[in-house]
Amino acid sequence: MKLSKELILDVTESLIIKQGFETTTLSSVSKMLNVSHAAIYKYYSNKEDVFENLALRWISRMFDHLFTWQPNNSESPLHDWLWLLATTKKDLYLENPYMFNLYNEYIEKNSHLIKSHLESLYTKSESLDGKKNGYAVVNAFAIFHNPNFCDTWSRLSYQEDFEKIWELISR
- Domains, the chain, ranges and CATH? 1-44 (1.10.10.60), 50-169 (1.10.357.10)
The DSSP string of 89-142 is: HHHHHHH-HHHHHHHHHHTTT-HHHHHHHHHHHHHHHHHHHSSS-HHHHHHHTH
Count of beta carbons in the 10 Å neighbourhood of residue 74: 12
The angle that helices 97-106 and 5-19 make with each other, rounded to 10 degrees, is 120
Would you state the pLDDT for residue 33? 97
Q: What string of pLDDT tens digits covers the 171 residues of the chain? A: 799 999 999 999 999 889 887 899 999 999 999 999 999 999 999 998 998 888 888 888 888 999 999 998 888 999 999 999 999 999 999 998 877 887 787 776 778 888 888 999 999 999 998 899 999 999 999 999 999 899 999 999 999 999 999 999 998
Q: Which DSSP category does 13 fall into?
A: H
Would you state the pLDDT for residue 154? 94
Amino acid making up residue 82: L
What's the rounded Cα separation, in Å, for the pair 128 and 125? Answer: 5
- CA dihedral (158, 161, 166, 171) in degrees, to 10, reads 170
Would you state the pLDDT for residue 62? 85
Kindly calculate the radius of gyration of the chain based on its CA atoms and give it in whole angstroms: 19
